[in-house]
Homo-oligomer: A and B are copies of this chain.
């Protein structure tokens, strides 16, 4: 799966007439090993553990490329910074976000997706993507 994603990224770079570089490969590699929803800064930190030479700017630019290529999604939870997640070939998923500890759980629900489509249709809308976030307290934090 990871190889597959690396391959897709390489193809995207190729198609765009861009050049393949060590920095980008390292960043993309680290990104796809993560499960989390990382911010640019967090990813930069993790990447620097492997290669301290890589700068924030390059991480920033590579995340933009990943987003553009459809291999990553940019998300805006309430904390004032963009977070990125790898796009898998699996189903779209939504998020449960704990207001106290910040934990982010993912879920997926076909029935909700279906109802969303219905709503859109009623309004003459063509949905390209959606965002569903439930904010509250997780099992541990609700006490």
The interface of chain A, by Cβ under 8 A from chain B, is 76, 78, 96, 98-99, 105, 107, 109, 111-112, 115-116, 119-120, 122-139, 142
Q: A96-B123, A125-B136 are in contact. List 17 more A-B contacts (CB 8 A).
A: A76-B76, A76-B78, A96-B120, A99-B128, A109-B115, A109-B119, A111-B115, A112-B115, A112-B119, A120-B134, A123-B139, A127-B134, A127-B135, A128-B136, A129-B135, A129-B136, A131-B131
State which of B128, B136, B139 has its C-beta within 8 Å of the C-beta of A127: B136
The smallest beta-carbon distance between A105 and chain B, in angstroms, is: 6
Number of copies: 2
Q: Say whether B119 contacts A130, CB under 8 Å.
A: no
CA distance A99 to B132 in the complex (A): 17
Q: Say whether B115 contacts A139, CB under 8 Å.
A: no
Q: Say whether A119 contacts B107, CB under 8 Å.
A: yes
> Which chain B residue lies CB-closest to A128?
B136
CA distance A112 to B98 in the complex (A): 20
CA distance A96 to B116 in the complex (A): 10
Q: Say whether A125 contacts B111, CB under 8 Å.
A: no
Q: Say whether B116 contacts A139, CB under 8 Å.
A: no
User: Can you list 7 A-B pairs, Cβ within 8 angstroms, ordered by A?
Assistant: A107-B119, A112-B116, A116-B132, A124-B138, A124-B139, A130-B133, A130-B135
The smallest beta-carbon distance between A114 and chain B, in angstroms, is: 10
The smallest beta-carbon distance between A115 and chain B, in angstroms, is: 5
